[in-house]
Amino acid sequence: MRVTIFGSGYVGLVTGACLAEVGNDVLCVDIDAERIERLNCGEVPIFEPGLEAVIKRGRDAGRLDFTADIPAGINHGFFQFIAVGTPSDEDDSADLGHVLTLARSIGEHLADYRVIVNKSTVPVGTADKMKAVIQEVLDQRGVSFEFDIVSNPEFLKEGAAIEDFMKPDRVIIGTDSPRAEELLRTLYEPFNRSHDRVITMDIRSAELTKYAANAMLATKISFMNEIANLAERLGADIEQVRIGIGSDPRIGYSFIYAGCGYGGSCFPKDVRALAASSAQADYPSELLVAVDGVNQHQKEVLFNKIHAYFNGKLAGKVLALWGLAFKPNTDDMREASSRTLMRLLWGAGCRVQAFDPAAGAEAARLDGDRPDFTLCERAEEAIHGADGLVIVTEWQEFRSPDFDAIKNALSTPVIFDGRNLYDPDLMRRLGFDYFGIGRGDSIARAAGGEI
């Protein structure tokens, strides 16, 4: 089938590459000419395991191409996928400027029936707005062409997006058109072989499903962080609590790891956008506001521990950070906990020596010109001469390091573990001062109950 993908960011590239992988003729469109040039030269502008190889196979087979020509994209695809950004507006609601501008362009160039598939995360009612914009332009042109709009939200996890697309948990199709539903079912058939993963519903329910899913996961994280902070004050260990509650199948083990806060392009933005939508519907959501507030506070917890450990005397201290991306297996630093921590450390007069296996280039783009920031090529380089080690992202290579080498490299044998990678008792036996998140009496004893 002929497919056009508008937006060659994270969602657009994964969607386009995977649809081409199963034989479709895909054209990815983006207004960023530099990005298109890079893609046409074989350079993938984002880090996502497996994506580069899938894109290369699609290009080599002649099934995947990239262009900045919007009319060409509208003419190409029977399916018109919209995967453009919906950044937060000033009131935290989703900015639909890109989506509605694209809808207007489709109306200006539509010349035959098209299925317009919205993968962008948008508030409830956006499909209605898109339909109205397209129909208005068609009326202005004095022409009449049929089109259907479908809500088809994405549920891709950064770091596992290819697997998520090729073997999805579910495929949500929100539409009021039986024809569009049947066409989308046919398009997704290659990803739906072992059992039926397609769930159909009305458009508004599909639009809300995406926000509700991300808000639920964010809520689980913030809840566990609240319990972790309580555990520290009560002398309990959040890791043992996690195992105890996760064994209940009604709760499960997913997304109940305490840490130094969630980040990325989805959870923070979507929780705030859903809260804004709720307020606009005259139903202010206290829960969603609290979930976001807890997360903002949690991003400061590591700094508070560092500040207390050094008795507030941080000026001139050097802290080694392992991990800058908001999660492993990505280079995405949007709303990452590392950015909050570094801002606070720099404000207190600290220097930062940081290492991340994938996010080095992004960190250099953001803060590379700071004299108090050193990007290191290896984890061992970051800890050399530092006054303490801070674990911010749970990359696999950080899970079993050479602790003797760490102790010898640090000027002060202290580890602040924002992802609870290490066992507190083992760290004490090895001679470290160790501070995790919600690790109970080990933290209370080491800090006199203050951290």
φ, ψ dihedrals at 320, nearest 5°: -95, 125
| Angular region, 262: left φ>0, alpha ψ -120 to 50, beta rest | beta
Amino acid, single-letter form, for residue 166: M
* All residues at 6 or more sequence positions from 371 whose CB lies less than 8 Å from its CB, including other chains: none
Nearest to 310 by CA among 267, 348, 272: 348
376 is catalytic: no
CB count in 10 Å sphere of residue 429: 9
Q: Count Cβ neighbours within 10 Å for each residue of 326-341 and write b for 16 or more, e otherwise.
A: bbbbbbbbebbbbbbb
Rounded Cα gap, residues 380 and 8, in angstroms: 36
Q: In what order do the strands lie in the sheet with 351-355?
A: 373-375, 351-355, 318-322, 388-391, 414-417, 433-435
Within 13 A of 233's CA, how many CA atoms are on the CB side?
5
Query: Which one of the listed residues 28, 260, 266, 376 is annotated catalytic?
Result: 266
Instruction: Tell how strand 79-82 and strand 351-355 pair up.
Output: unpaired
Q: Where are the beta strands (DSSP E) in 196-333?
A: 198-201, 318-322
CB count in 10 Å sphere of residue 101: 14
* All residues at 6 or more sequence positions from 373 whose CB lies less than 8 Å from its CB, including other chains: 342, 346, 351, 352, 354, 367
Number of H helices, E strands in the chain: 19, 14
* All residues at 6 or more sequence positions from 11 whose CB lies less than 8 Å from its CB, including other chains: 83, 119, 120, 154, 156
Q: Cα–chain-centroid distance for residue 48?
A: 12
Q: Which residues are catalytic?
A: 266
